[in-house]
Amino acid sequence: MMLWLLLFVVLLVAGPLWTLASGSATLHGDWRNAGSRPVGLAPDPATHPEAIVQVYAGRAFSWRGAFAVHTWLAAKAKGAAAYTRYEVIGWNALRGQSLISVSSARAADAQWFGAAPRLIDELRGAEAEAVIERLPRVLASYPYASVYHLWPGPNSNTFTAYLGREIPELRLTMPSTAIGKDYLPRGEIFAHTPSGTGYQFSLAGVLGASFGRDEGIEFNVLGLVFGVDLRRPALKLPGIGRVPG
């Protein structure tokens, strides 16, 4: 029994330790002067007048980045001169503000406190317009605008996954390292996956499983995900994410 328990613990922490060792996440740095420059993934509104919706994921700051990413949605209406970012920011609670940040102050593809983001979803034209039209109603319905828990949720990834479930047109496949994505609203146990192509069950984001065309097969243990993507062959490992097969 002790051997199996030890093996289980090793499996849970090996990925995060490798993420630190490889430099994908770091324990060093100061959030006050961490980088926030754009990385060139968002099309310039001046030369791309069509509506655009993008979803990004960047490594969380400090030790959190060994385990998880932070996700957000950026949108630009047709003819708009700038993108608007939609995300949950935990420290807004310290200022007495809504946790949901809707702002154009930071670039759509800005570094998340020094971590370069990657693009995980993009829609343009009429598809993007359909998503933008639904955003105000879905934002107003998010049940955790004043509640934030780093683990197991609700957090920033809970919010982004909620957008995916409520707006199927997004066809959003969340990164397996987005801890909090499996925290289902209002104490629900069963739900569609954020992509809308499968189903999942989750016990408060701590234990669960997902089965979907786009997500593949995922098992959530203490918020950390093990899985396999059958459509685009890859393993999914805690802290690391996708390992292409």
What is the pLDDT at residue 23? 87
Report the C-alpha gap between 150 and 146 in whole angstroms.
Answer: 13
Q: What tens-digit pLDDT sequence spans the chain (245 residues)?
A: 777 778 777 888 899 999 999 888 887 777 777 778 999 999 999 999 999 999 999 999 999 999 999 999 999 999 999 999 999 999 887 777 889 999 999 999 999 999 999 999 999 999 999 999 999 999 999 999 999 999 999 999 999 999 999 999 999 999 999 999 999 999 999 999 999 999 999 999 999 999 999 999 999 999 999 999 999 999 999 999 999 97
Rounded to 10 degrees, what is the CA torsion of 200, 206, 207, 208? 10
Question: Any idea what DSSP says for residue 29?
Answer: -
Angle at which helix 126-141 crosses helix 156-166, to 10 degrees, equals 120
d(CA 13, CA 93): 30
Residue position matching structure tokens 């030369």: 47
Q: Can you give the pTM of this predicted structure?
A: 0.94
Residues 6+ apart with CB under 8 A from 183: 152, 153, 154, 155, 158, 202, 204, 205
Residue 7 has what pLDDT?
Answer: 76
Residue 37: closest CA among 113, 89, 104, 140: 113
